[in-house]
Each structure stands twice: as C-alpha cells, then as structure tokens.
C-alpha cells in the first residue's frame, strides 16, 4: 500500500531470540514448557480462590485477577512465537502486529496497576485493621480493578492509534520475539516525535505511578509493623506481604533495569532478555511464589487435590 511515496509493509518478521537452529529447538521446548506451567499454575490459583470460601477476601480477589491477567499477558506473545517456530515462517501481519502491541501494553499496564492495588490492600489491612472491612468492600475492590482496566485500556489504545499512523518503509525485521512498541518506533521511517513523547510520558506513568504507590504503601506498612511490640506479631504482618513483595521485585526489577537504565551498545539484546523475564518468567513464577509462601493457598491446593469426585448413579 502506498503512503505518499512510501511503501507500507504488509507484515513484520519476528527474528526471535536466536538464529542458530539448535538453540531455536531448545528455546522452543523451553518456552513451551514455561507457557504450559504458567497457564496451568495461574489457572490453579484462580480455581483455588473461586472454590475455597476462606479465600473470598480482597487480597485473593486481586490475586485471582492478577493470575488471569498473567495468563493473558503470556498468551499475547508466546503462542505466536511457538507457531512461527513450527511453521518455519517468522512473519506476523501488520494488523496482527498492532493487535499484539495493543494487548501487550494493556496487560503489562494491568500488571503494574494490580500490583499497586494489592500493595494498597496490604496497607489497609495492616495499618487500618479495624476499618479494613469497611474500606475494602466488594464494591471498592471491583471499582479498583475496573479503574485499572479502564486506564490500561485507554493507555494502550492511544499508543496503538498513534503507532498505526506511522509508515514503515525500510526495515520490517523486529529484533524480538513479539511486536514491542519501542522496537517498532525505531523501525518507522516517518516522524515519531509525538509517539515518543506519549510513550515516555503517558506510558511511563502507567509504570512509575503504581510503583510509587507501592513504595509509599510499604513505607507506611514498615513504619506500622515496627511499632508492634511482639516479634511474632511483626513476623506475621510481614509474612502477609512477602509474596507480593517478591513478585514486585521480580517484575519491576526487569522493567527498571532495562527501560530506565543508561543506554548501552547492546541495548537490543538487553531488552530482549528483559522481555523474556517479565513476559514469561514472572507470570510463571507467580503461582510458585504465592503457593510456596502462603499457608492459605497451600491449604486450598491440598483441598483441591484431595477432593473426591462425586459420582451420581
């Protein structure tokens, strides 16, 4: 298709993580296993929370939503990469690339917002325990999740609409295993000033603002917990936050380490490795972190495993 005297590509080529055939085979097996573990692990978390009445609390409501978003987040990128490997064709249609970018930004933003909401929930539970039931009602929890979806959707929509107005006329090779926004902006041959401004302002706010909220929440939590005279009481309070803190460190550590670090000569490779961390490894690790460090979740998993099927005659 012609845009002025520029040719718009009909598809992009996802170069993936390696050009070596042996490494590609290993990567395929590794990513397939990680994807299956991610989906099954997060589905198990959702099942445990839905079926166990003792887990019908705000903290686990947010965790169930995070597990659902993690499944969607991983499913946005990994299946396409696996299909490309099986078919031997690395192409992704232009419309498909925009759709993948939209979904990637949407679910990445949702991860940030939900982690921020979960930190606020822990703040209310620890710092205002007597008013927790009134402040974190089902209506408030639903409103917080709904607002997260609305803001994430708006941010993603704006980014992709601006991206759709760009022309790609020289290179269509994406040095990644999915259509990532900053990589596509570098490939564009039209003016990307507005895209970069919006990406660096609006896009960064969806990452930075929840992170600031998390830092403030845990600073207040730490101050409150340190005033508890009992060592056992302090340990119990901190234990309710340990799983969430582990996920926050893993997720935000990779984002900050790449997108907010000084530029380097091997920036593309760094971003690709980091993308693997927060698109695959973090969603896969979440079920293990929450199940291994949470007695309620371990009890719920045991109940599911030990539950006897009911047969009707």
Structure tokens at 186: 């570098």
Q: Is residue 52 part of a domain?
A: yes
Alpha-carbon radius of gyration of the chain: 22
Q: Is residue 312 part of a domain?
A: no
Q: Look up the domain containing 69 and give its range.
A: 8-304
Cβ atoms of 29 and 48 within 8 Å: the answer is no
* Per-residue confidence (pLDDT) for residue 40, from 0 to 100: 93
Q: Distances in Å between the alpha carbon of 173 and those of 14, 23, 186, 240?
A: 6, 20, 11, 45
Q: Tell me the angle at which helices 204-225 and 231-259 cross, rounded to the nearest 10 degrees.
A: 160
**If we measure between CA atoms, which residue out of 263, 255, 295, 264 comes closest to residue 105?**
255
**If we measure between CA atoms, which residue out of 275, 253, 288, 287 comes closest to residue 76?**
275
* Per-residue confidence (pLDDT) for residue 262, from 0 to 100: 54
Q: Is residue 65 part of a domain?
A: yes
Q: Is residue 2 part of a domain?
A: no
The tens-digit pLDDT sequence of the chain (313 residues) is 344 444 456 788 887 777 777 777 888 898 999 999 999 999 989 998 898 888 889 999 999 999 999 999 999 999 998 888 888 788 889 889 999 999 999 999 999 999 999 999 999 998 888 888 889 999 999 999 999 999 999 999 999 999 988 888 777 788 888 888 888 888 888 888 888 888 888 777 888 899 999 999 999 998 888 887 877 777 777 777 888 888 888 888 777 765 665 554 445 566 666 677 778 888 888 888 877 666 777 677 677 667 655 444 3
* Per-residue confidence (pLDDT) for residue 3, from 0 to 100: 41
Cβ atoms of 71 and 42 within 8 Å: the answer is yes
Q: Is residue 294 part of a domain?
A: yes
Domain count, the chain: 1
Q: Distances in Å between the alpha carbon of 59 and those of 10, 17, 69, 112, 193?
A: 45, 37, 16, 16, 41
Q: CATH number for the domain including 285?
A: 1.20.1070.10
- pTM of the entire structure? 0.87
* Per-residue confidence (pLDDT) for residue 124, from 0 to 100: 93
* Per-residue confidence (pLDDT) for residue 259, from 0 to 100: 62
Q: Is residue 50 part of a domain?
A: yes
Give the distance, in angstroms, between the CA of residue 154 and the centroid of all CA atoms in the same chain: 17
The alpha helices in 21-137, defined as continuous H runs, are 21-51, 58-87, 94-127, 132-135
Q: Is residue 313 part of a domain?
A: no
Q: Is residue 175 part of a domain?
A: yes
* Per-residue confidence (pLDDT) for residue 138, from 0 to 100: 93
């Amino acid at each position: 298709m012609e845009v002025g005297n520029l040719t718009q590509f009909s598809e992009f080529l996802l170069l993936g993580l390696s050009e070596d055939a042996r490494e590609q085979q290993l990567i395929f097996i590794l990513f397939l296993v990680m994807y299956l573990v991610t989906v099954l692990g997060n589905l198990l978390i959702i099942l445990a929370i839905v079926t166990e009445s003792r887990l019908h609390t705000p903290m686990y409501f947010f965790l169930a939503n995070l597990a659902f978003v993690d499944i969607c987040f991983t499913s946005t990128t990994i299946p396409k990469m696996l299909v490309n490997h099986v078919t031997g064709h690395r192409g992704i249609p232009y419309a498909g690339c925009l759709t993948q970018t939209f979904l990637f930004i949407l679910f990445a933003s949702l991860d940030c917002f939900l982690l921020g909401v979960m930190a606020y929930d822990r703040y209310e539970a620890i710092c205002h325990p007597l008013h927790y039931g009134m402040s974190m009602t089902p209506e408030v929890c639903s409103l917080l999740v709904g607002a997260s979806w609305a803001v994430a959707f708006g941010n993603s929509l704006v980014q992709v609409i601006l991206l759709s107005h760009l022309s790609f006329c020289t290179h269509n090779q994406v040095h990644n295993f999915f259509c990532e926004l900053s990589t596509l902006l570098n490939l564009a041959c039209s003016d990307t000033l507005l895209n970069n401004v919006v990406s660096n302002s609006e896009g960064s706010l969806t990452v930075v603002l929840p992170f600031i909220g998390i830092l403030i929440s845990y600073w207040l939590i730490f101050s409150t917990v340190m005033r508890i005279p009992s060592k056992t009481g302090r340990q119990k309070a901190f234990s309710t936050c340990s799983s969430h803190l582990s996920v926050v460190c893993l997720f935000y550590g990779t984002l900050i380490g790449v997108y907010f670090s000084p530029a380097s000569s091997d920036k593309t490779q760094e971003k690709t490795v980091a993308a693997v961390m927060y698109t695959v490894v973090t969603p896969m690790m979440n079920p293990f972190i929450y199940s291994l460090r949470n007695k309620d979740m371990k009890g719920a998993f045991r109940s599911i495993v030990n539950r006897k099927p009911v047969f009707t005659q």
